[in-house]
Amino acid sequence: MTHLATPPHVTLADHFADPEASRHPLRLRLTFGEELDCHAPSFDVDQLVLIVTTSDGVARTIQPEEIRALYERRLRWSADLGLTLATVAMGTGIGALLVPLLSPLTAGYGALFGALGGGVPAAIVRSVLPSVIPLEYARLLERLDSLAYWRAVLPKPDA
């Protein structure tokens, strides 16, 4: 039985149907040798084109046939965990210091409330940062190279 490859426009449409996909920085390798680092991608299903903003701030429209490889930059789970733990730890410390000063509760209760309160910003920062400042987020991932990796979108490895 022969295996039929999925056309690139179908793979792109499936990938970018997930709203989370547009938050990740991209690296494109085009068939004529050009390599682009870009962000804010979207796939126009009517025109069957990928629309991206390059690191220079230029909007580009790319045909799926022009793409040799497409990678997206993702944080490793250890970086997500580290960011969450750091935010919760800061909340714990601040709560343990401030709650006894401002209320009759003890530092233990303050630490508990601070830890719970630190969890909310951790979730917000991880989800909002890539969409609010996409170019700076891409630069941050480049600086934290050991905490991020490139995941192949196209070509998809054979399963």
**Tens-digit pLDDT profile for residues 77-128:** 777 777 788 888 988 999 999 989 988 989 999 899 888 888 887 777 767 7
CB 54 within 8 A of CB 135: no
The tens digit of pLDDT for each residue in 9-55 reads 888 888 888 877 777 888 899 988 899 988 888 888 899 999 998 88
Q: Which residues lie closer than 8 Å to 18 by C-beta, 6 or more apart?
A: none
**Domains plus CATH for the chain?**
8-75+148-154 (2.30.30.100), 77-146 (no CATH)
**Number of Cβ within a 10 Å radius of residue 135:** 17
- Amino acid code (one letter) for 36: L
**Number of Cβ within a 10 Å radius of residue 129:** 15
- For residue 151, pLDDT beyond 50: yes
Question: According to the model, what pLDDT value does residue 2 have?
Answer: 47
CB 27 within 8 A of CB 150: yes
- Tell me, yes or no, if the pTM score tops 0.75: no
Predicted confidence band at 159 (pLDDT cuts at 50, 70, 90)?
very low
Q: Which residues of 16-52 are buried (b: 16+ CB within 10 A; e: fewer)?
A: beeeebbbbbbbbbbeeeeebbbbbbebeeeebbbbb
- Cα–Cα dist 70/72, whole Å: 7
- For residue 158, pLDDT beyond 50: no
**Greater model confidence, 66 or 7:** 66
Helices (H), 21-133: 77-102, 107-132
CB 150 within 8 A of CB 73: yes
**Greater model confidence, 76 or 9:** 9
- For residue 157, pLDDT beyond 60: no
The tens digit of pLDDT for each residue in 92-105 reads 999 999 989 988 98
